[in-house]
Amino acid sequence: MQTSRCVVLVKPDGVQRGLIGEIIHRFERKGLHMIGLKMIALDDETLSDWYVEHKDKPFFGDLKKFMSSNPVVAILWEGIEASVAIRNILGSTKGREAAPGTIRGDFSMSKQYNIVHASDSAEAGDREQKLIFKDDEIFPWKKMNLDQIYAPDEME
Ligand code: CMP
């Protein structure tokens, strides 16, 4: 199976609450492959593209204001079905309903202030990586232990 890419954002509330390391740790120990990492202040134009599917929702303005309130940390991950694995670790959107053991289940009480974002598909991952990372900010280094993470037939 082919790998795909998924962008994770540690949102302003996750940065403020000192959860950057905790969040990265959860994905690293899962076996995901980090190929990009940066702190970035999201501007209005990028956020309008990023949240284009929410542009007609009543919370769009508040969402953009929140997401630009302080820098976020963007991490580009690669793996087989990366967005599926990552979104399971995130938990459901509303933090107070998210399952214990997930990031939102452990750290969030809110629907909007829900600590992390992740691309919801391989296609979204490709689109979002282009909005955040320049080509020379992506490092597809060879991870030496992939044969311990995936069975041989999964890597064909
Ligand atoms: P995420 O799934 O990362 O991307 C869309 C975001 O919109 C979502 O996280 C929430 O932070 C936010 N969101 C979704 N629904 C609502 C809502 N009803 N009110 C406010 N914010 C919302």
CATH number at residue 34: 3.30.70.141
Per the structure, the count of domains in the chain is 1
Q: With cut-offs at 50, 70 and 90, classify the pLDDT of residue 1.
A: confident
Residues with C-beta less than 6 Å from any ligand 1 atom: 54, 59, 63, 93, 111-112, 114, 117
Which atom of ligand 1 is closest in space to residue 114's alpha carbon? 11
Give the pLDDT band (50/70/90) at residue 156.
Answer: confident
Length of the chain: 156
Entry pTM: 0.95
Digit-coded pLDDT (tens) for 6-47: 999 999 999 999 999 999 999 999 999 999 999 999 999 999
Q: Residue for token digits 């390391």?
A: 21
Handedness of CA 39, 42, 47, 49 (dihedral sign): negative
Of 58, 115, 62, the residue nearest 92 (C-alpha) = 115
**Residues 89 and 27 sit within 8 Å (Cβ to Cβ):** yes
**Domain with 103 in it:** 4-155
Instruction: Please pick, among 25, 33, 54, 117, the residue that the annotation labels catalytic.
Output: 117
